[in-house]
Structure 1
Amino acid sequence: MTAEYRIAEDRLGGEPTLAVSAPDDSARVVLALRGATLLSWQVRHGAAGPLKELTDGYRDEKELLSQDGVRAGLLAPFPNRVADGRYHYDGHDHDLLPGHHEDRTIYHGFAREAPFELVHTTATADSARLLLRTTSVRPERHPGYPFALDLEVEFTVTARELSIEIRAANVGDTTAPYAAGWHPYFTLSRPIDDLALHIPAHTLIRTDASLIPLPGEDALLPLDDCPDMDFRAPKRLGDAVIDACYADLTPGADGRIETVLTDPATGEELRVWQYGGYMHVFTGDTLARDRRASIALEPVETMTNAFNRPEHLAALDLEPGRRREFSFGVGYAASGS
């Protein structure tokens, strides 16, 4: 009988987790049910080498609960920031931070802390699929977001790739603003300064000092005019400090957009892929732990503060009874593979 992928329940302190292992132990993934959060993704390096950690996730329960750095957080119903925690939608003003008068920073939505449950698994000799769901996004749960969403996240694990699809269904009576994304940190076991990055983008989103995009067309900066931030040709990160969104991404023949992180010394590659959207890059300079030890390569459906940008409203609209999907993932290639 052919061996299949194994899926086991485990815990990170008091937090329930799921561990997924390949039949030959050549790949291992650990997910926390809180936020459907990827904690670890390990792949065998070489034909018979050890497992290699490729993500820089939360290491213990305290880190997971703190959400510091939003390590591998699923970003919904909005990615990145909403300016001043306020937005206007469908004729109504909404305040995501009622009662807050000084620190008005809110970012990355509610899904990353939501309680998910495992509803279905499929295991074969070649892959494992896990479907997780939460019904926690309801009007009474989140100030300033009076909409009802059911969220599903499907993870597919294979020998060298991790695929994710996040799906939102509007189960309420009114159209909801919605967009999704992912906030993973990747590592190739060396400082990011030594790694090379390739982003198939033609435009950089310009922001103010609070990382909020400038109004209208002023936010769109052609990368021809910003060579220091241009990674259309792969180049070494060096001491570049980046917390920026890239737009006008060019897909390959299969429709996938691929952002590639490479270790020139070994030839190893991580290919972060997505269907549509934007790529947000963060070099981790302000992390509380291990600054610049990993890099966040974030597939997102919209730019920062899309809830306050009229040109994005039609794309945000999720009507009652409708569902939207956003697919992304990452693959690993060892030198010569």
Structure 2
Amino acid sequence: MSNPGQYQTYTLSDESTQSEVLVVPERGGVVTDWRIQDQKVFYMDEERFADPTLSVRGGIPLLFPICGNLPDDTYTLDGETYKLNQHGFARSLPWEVTQQENGTSMTVTLRSNEQTLAGYPFNFELNYTYILRGNTLELRYAHTNLSEKPMPFSTGIHPYFAVSDKTQLEFDLPSNKYQLKGDQTINTFAGDFDFNAEEIDWAFINLSKQSAVVTDKSRNLKLTINYDSNYSTLVFWTVKGKDFYCLEPWTGPRNAMNTGTHLLIAEPGKTVETVISMTAKLG
């Protein structure tokens, strides 16, 4: 980090693979860095990270209780109208470290408060656990409903993967059907992205398997993302001229809070758990 003293940073490490993960709980519970044998897995925009008024572009921002954006940032529930900014509030609020184990795992916790209740009328507790095992980073997410009515939500991650030459990326994706942002038309993926486009923002749907693989031939780095059956959507996003691409497992698509599509429901007093893991292999 360009300003490492700005936020308290926690480290997970695995000596067998020379793997290290950095977590900054108070900046949205975000994983900021992951290195294997000094190879950087994640991209980080350090200027944005240093400005608490801006969303983090880098590492693994956390999405809850929505993924993507809502029309006019608005949804209706039980006859009441609420507003939520894109991707929800979890990525912009401070989380608390509630458990650490042997420098290989830690749990960060976010609880509902007056700010969250204004846009999302549920009392909840999120316990998100990061586990580093060898060259695999496992993300175990527990969503507990502390309210007296069923709690609908979507959850997901927005990981920014570092890349120096996007034309050297090879993709094995779980679907060839995708939708453009703001368009319900279902398109067919031919296997390649046009990285000369100013922006690519595609939501892959009808996923056929619980994994996606990206091989960066320029770095001999193979990245595998696994996710459980709660995840229905896989978003690919990148911007021309930026050294990142995002591959984002979401449990529900954009606007799910209004449409109900693939919404997860935590019953009163119950916990819904979801799991994602990432494995990075060199050579």
Normalising by the residue count of structure 1, what TM-score does the alignment of the two structures yield?
A: 0.74
1:1-337 equivalent positions in 2, closer than 5 A? 12-23=4-15, 26-34=18-26, 35-44=28-37, 51-59=38-46, 61-63=49-51, 65-69=53-57, 71-89=59-77, 91-96=78-83, 106-123=85-102, 128-135=104-111, 137-138=112-113, 141-188=116-163, 190-206=164-180, 211-214=181-184, 219=185, 221=186, 223=188, 229-231=189-191, 235=192, 238-239=195-196, 241-251=199-209, 257-276=210-229, 277=231, 278-285=233-240, 291-312=241-262, 315-335=263-283
* Structure exhibiting the larger radius of gyration computed from Cα positions: 1
For residues 142 and 12 of structure 1, do their structure 2 counterparts lie closer, same or farther at Cα, with a shift above 3 Å needed?
farther
* 8 Å Cα contact 1:138/1:147 also seen in 2: no
* 8 Å Cα contact 2:143/2:271 also seen in 1: yes
Q: How far did residue 15 of structure 1 move?
A: 1.5
User: Mind listing any 5+ residue stretches in structure 2 that lack a counterpart?
Assistant: none
* 8 Å Cα contact 2:12/2:105 also seen in 1: no
- Counterpart CA distance in 1 for 2:17 and 2:279 is 17
Q: How far did residue 75 of structure 1 move?
A: 0.2
Name the aligned partner's letter for residue 272 of structure 1.
I
For residues 121 and 316 of structure 1, do their structure 2 counterparts lie closer, same or farther at Cα, with a shift above 3 Å needed?
same
Q: How far did residue 132 of structure 1 move?
A: 1.3
Q: How far did residue 330 of structure 1 move?
A: 1.2
* 8 Å Cα contact 1:213/1:304 also seen in 2: no
SS of equivalent to 2:243:
coil
For residues 175 and 28 of structure 1, do their structure 2 counterparts lie closer, same or farther at Cα, with a shift above 3 Å needed?
same
Structure 1 residues 102-148: Cα deviation after superposition (integer angstroms, max 9, x where no partner): xxxx201111122212111222xxx811111121x235544231111
Normalising by the residue count of structure 2, what TM-score does the alignment of the two structures yield?
A: 0.88
- Counterpart CA distance in 2 for 1:16 and 1:115 is 11
Deviates more, 1:168-177 or 1:298-307: 168-177
Runs of 4+ residues over 4 Å off in structure 1: 235-238
For residues 114 and 68 of structure 1, do their structure 2 counterparts lie closer, same or farther at Cα, with a shift above 3 Å needed?
closer
- Counterpart CA distance in 2 for 1:153 and 1:181 is 12
SS of equivalent to 1:242:
strand
SS of equivalent to 1:69:
coil
For residues 230 and 170 of structure 1, do their structure 2 counterparts lie closer, same or farther at Cα, with a shift above 3 Å needed?
farther
* 8 Å Cα contact 1:96/1:142 also seen in 2: no
- Counterpart CA distance in 2 for 1:42 and 1:26 is 8
For residues 317 and 236 of structure 1, do their structure 2 counterparts lie closer, same or farther at Cα, with a shift above 3 Å needed?
closer
Name the aligned partner's letter for residue 74 of structure 2.
R
* 8 Å Cα contact 1:30/1:39 also seen in 2: yes
Q: How far did residue 309 of structure 1 move?
A: 0.9
SS of equivalent to 2:15:
coil
* 8 Å Cα contact 1:269/1:334 also seen in 2: yes
Q: How far did residue 213 of structure 1 move?
A: 4.6
- Counterpart CA distance in 2 for 1:301 and 1:179 is 6
* 8 Å Cα contact 2:162/2:244 also seen in 1: yes
Structure 1 residues 226-260: Cα deviation after superposition (integer angstroms, max 9, x where no partner): xxx333xxx57643542011011122xxxxx2221
Equivalent pairs, count: 276
- Counterpart CA distance in 1 for 2:183 and 2:146 is 31
Q: How far did residue 20 of structure 1 move?
A: 1.9
For residues 182 and 264 of structure 1, do their structure 2 counterparts lie closer, same or farther at Cα, with a shift above 3 Å needed?
same
* 8 Å Cα contact 2:226/2:277 also seen in 1: yes
Structure 1 residues 180-226: Cα deviation after superposition (integer angstroms, max 9, x where no partner): 000011124x22233222211142124xxxx3353xxxx4x152xxx
